[in-house]
A = this chain, B = another copy of it.
Amino acid sequence: MSDVEAKAFSIEVLREFCARVFLHFGVPKNDAIEAAEVLASADLRGIDSHGVARLHSYFDMLSEGRINPKPEIKVVRSTLSTATVDGDNGLGLVVGPQANRIAMDMAEKAGSGWASVRNTNHFGIAGYYVLKALERDLIGWAMTNSTMLVAPLWGAERMLGTNPIAIAFPGKEEPPIVLDMATSAAAYGKIEIARRRGEPIPEGWAIDSEGRSTTNPDDMVDGGALLPLGSDRDRGGHKGYGLAIMVDALCGVLSGANWGPFAPPFALRQEIPKRSVGKGIGHFFGAMRIDGFVDGDSFKRQIDDYVRVFRATKPAPGTNGPLIPGDPEREMEQVRCKKGVPLILPVVEELRDISRKTGISFE
């Protein structure tokens, strides 16, 4: 954030603006509020690439009629603990929360609930959904596939999205353990930051358009690809690639959505894939009742113990020791709740552009 002049906005202002933009396109009020909440959670938690920075993409897609503002979200197949949800090409920010509720409702009745979702669009941060599960005292899982950016290990082209996995476990006195991770070695946003600064990227993040390892961020952007978690064969790049396939199969293949290189783009400027093998992109949500396995209170006390034991790990030289998954996002949320969300000027300009085009005031 330090490299581009930034201005701070209160989260309430941003959330309100997003909600009004969605309303402008005919998104029903409760859906618009919820969609804005999903975006706001990304900005609060410091995942800047998935918050209001993406509002212009949603705006474009809604303007062009590429996303359905009033989807009829339907369960098209189900058992006691599984369901396939068709999102009717709605905003992922609307379909996601609804499908997540379907999974959680099943879990409360059958012990666990698993929803694979097709015909949907980008759903924001996976972490949002697992935090919602914690509110209902459930262990939550969330995954999504997405537009291709990542090469398989030993591949020379983009074939997979950054396909994140999120899961959360509640503590009693300690904060929850909240994992929310892309299955690529690094986020695309980090490539963009390095590019803007004219700095090289670390070895292991990306390949160029010929499939060669590169430290030049331009090489990745100009037809190259991100590498999967693990980066190369020696360090386990086949594992990150395998995890990305797992997410893709659960979200895309299992629901009847598009998968792999055929996942449709989330922004107008992105190329439309050559083939369609399903409907929209796909998500996968899971929820499990803790007391379907063990006493809920003793589970939470054990998680407290877990967190304390891991915080007490002997630190590696030059560090303060291990963090608990979710720590950085939680700290960021505390800061941004008080001090606001710093937006870089290009994002502020995009929001102003939306304001001009819709007549919805901003600032």
Contacts and interface: CB of A to CB of B under 8 A. Distances in A.
Given A212-B317, A277-B305, A111 B229 contact: no
A317 B210 CA distance: 7
Interface stretch (A40-48, A65-73, A150-158, A264-272): A150-158
A211 interface: yes
Contacts of A325: 238, 241-242, 245
Contacts of A193: none
A177 interface: yes
A225 to B, nearest CB: 10
A235 B246 CA distance: 20
A150 to B, nearest CB: 11
Contact of A84 (B181, B259, B294): B294
A77 B323 contact: no
A47 to B, nearest CB: 14
Interface string A271-300: 000000110000000001111111000110
A59 interface: no
A314 B84 CA distance: 33
A169 B253 contact: yes
A362 B234 CA distance: 37
Interface stretch (A27-35, A87-95, A200-208, A341-349): A200-208
B211 A315 contact: yes
Contact of A293 (B82, B159, B167, B205): B82
A216 interface: no
B235 A289 contact: no
A211 B316 contact: yes
Contact of A169 (B183, B243, B249): B249
A116 interface: yes
Interface string A229-272: 11100111011111101101100011110011100000000000
Given A110-B79, A229-B239, A84 B157 contact: no
A330 to B, nearest CB: 14
B315 A154 contact: yes
Given A234-B202, A292-B78, A156 B316 contact: yes
A136 to B, nearest CB: 15
B305 A81 contact: no
A306 interface: yes
A240 to B, nearest CB: 7
B321 A154 contact: yes
Contacts of A320: 154
B238 A153 contact: no
B156 A260 contact: no
Interface in A153-211: 153-157, 159, 165, 167, 169, 177, 179, 181-186, 202, 204-205, 207, 210-211
Contacts of A157: 313-314
12 contacts: A80-B109, A81-B112, A112-B112, A154-B315, A154-B316, A155-B315, A179-B243, A182-B239, A185-B230, A210-B317, A236-B240, A249-B303
Given A81-B112, A229-B230, A256-B298, 9 more contacts: A154-B319, A167-B246, A179-B245, A181-B238, A181-B239, A212-B317, A245-B310, A253-B303, A277-B302
The 10 closest A-B pairs by CB, nearest first: A79-B111, A211-B316, A82-B292, A152-B322, A82-B111, A154-B319, A155-B313, A81-B81, A79-B292, A179-B242
